[in-house]
A = this chain, B = another copy of it.
Amino acid sequence: MKLASLKGGRDGRLVVVSNDLTRYTDAARVAPTLQAALDDWDKCEAGLRELAQGLETGSVPVERFHERECASPLPRAYQWADGSAYINHVELVRKARGAEVPESFYEDPLMYQGGSDSFLGPRDDIVMAQDEGWGVDMEAEIAVVTGDVPMGVTPEEAKDHIRLIMLVNDVSLRGLIPGELAKGFGFFQSKPSSAFSPVAVTPDALGEAWDGGAVHLPLLVRYNGEPFGQANAGKDLTFNFPQLIAHAAKTRPLSAGTIIGSGTVSNKLDGGPGKAIAEGGDGYSCIAEIRMIETIYEGEAKTPFMKFGDTVEIKMKDGEGRSIFGAISQTVAKYERK
């Protein structure tokens, strides 16, 4: 089943989308918003699945689905917690500055609490007061949406609390990160509003690509129209989603609609740093990573961060080449106070 929130109001309007992303049907009679459906999932799921089936058989009213009309599936959420499951990304950051990765990082997930009150839509501009000055970067990731999760949940139990899967652009301001992390309290200004894919899907919609813990497909990133990344989200992850959920729920319960992110998807190549797609590698899911590889091999970073007008597209295709979640497609633009 595929769900989306068409723009309108603070929480959008819930619709069920056809598997091929061409049609939708309104879900208002089941739940007005995705948050409302998640709040009462046991009651709403069957009704939403009926609509999904009706869409495929043509037994419900349909409208043409346009990804550009979507807000993020949860335009605002009660929680956005982002992990760092792909340690390769962390290893590169550390290697570029000559530091070791602590042993504990392989047993205890890194996770930060993100802002969740004002997500961008998947086609919204990334509007910032500065571009290169703040080091605007994308981070292409996978995220899951949970139901209610009890405090102290085990990874094994956590599997059953995953309701939906989607893609994320975890926009990051690299220029603000060092100062902010040096203060010791984690990210805040350096992590502005994130954007999510037009469509969120239930785990079964991924078929064999979902193994209960991760999505085994390449995450396709284009930067200014050129292929930039195709790292496989099912490879090189040190922690899977159930483990990340258990980490988040160690000392408090998680409410329905909690979003848990994977961190930047990143693959190794022959056990070491990857290569650009043009050089036969799987590329990168953020600019910081190519800059780290440049630093390691060439002594300094050469690829600049995003400038006003630069574009990023993030999507994922199934085995037959069809877009699963629709595309996040964003342009960096200058913010002017009105």
Residues of A near any B CB (own CB < 8 A) = 10, 39, 76-79, 81, 84, 102, 104-105, 108, 110-118, 127-129, 134, 150-152, 173, 176, 179, 181, 183-190, 192-193, 247-248, 250-255, 257-258, 335, 337-338
Contacts and interface: CB of A to CB of B under 8 A. Distances in A.
23 contacts: A10-B255, A79-B116, A79-B117, A102-B183, A110-B183, A111-B185, A113-B114, A113-B186, A113-B187, A117-B254, A117-B258, A118-B254, A150-B337, A151-B335, A152-B337, A185-B186, A185-B187, A186-B186, A186-B187, A192-B251, A192-B252, A193-B252, A193-B253
- The A contact surface, by secondary structure, is loop
Given A10-B39, A151-B335, A337-B152, A112 B188 contact: yes
A115 B150 CA distance: 15
B252 A115 contact: yes
A24 to B, nearest CB: 25
A177 to B, nearest CB: 10
Number of copies: 2
Given A188-B81, A192-B251, A113 B113 contact: yes
Contact of A186 (B105, B112, B118, B250): B112
A118 B257 CA distance: 11
A271 to B, nearest CB: 24
A248 B188 contact: yes
Contact of A113 (B115, B150, B192): B115
Contact of A257 (B117, B152, B189): B117
A185 B112 contact: yes
A171 to B, nearest CB: 9
A251 to B, nearest CB: 4
Contacts of A113: 112-115, 186-188
The 10 closest A-B pairs by CB, nearest first: A186-B186, A78-B117, A117-B255, A79-B117, A112-B185, A192-B251, A113-B113, A192-B252, A189-B251, A193-B252
A184 B181 contact: yes
Contacts of A105: 183
A176 B79 CA distance: 21
A188 B111 contact: yes
Which of A104, A115, A176 has its CB near the most chain B CB atoms (within 10 A)? A115
A116 B78 contact: yes
A84 B186 CA distance: 13
Given A39-B10, A189-B247, A76 B112 contact: no
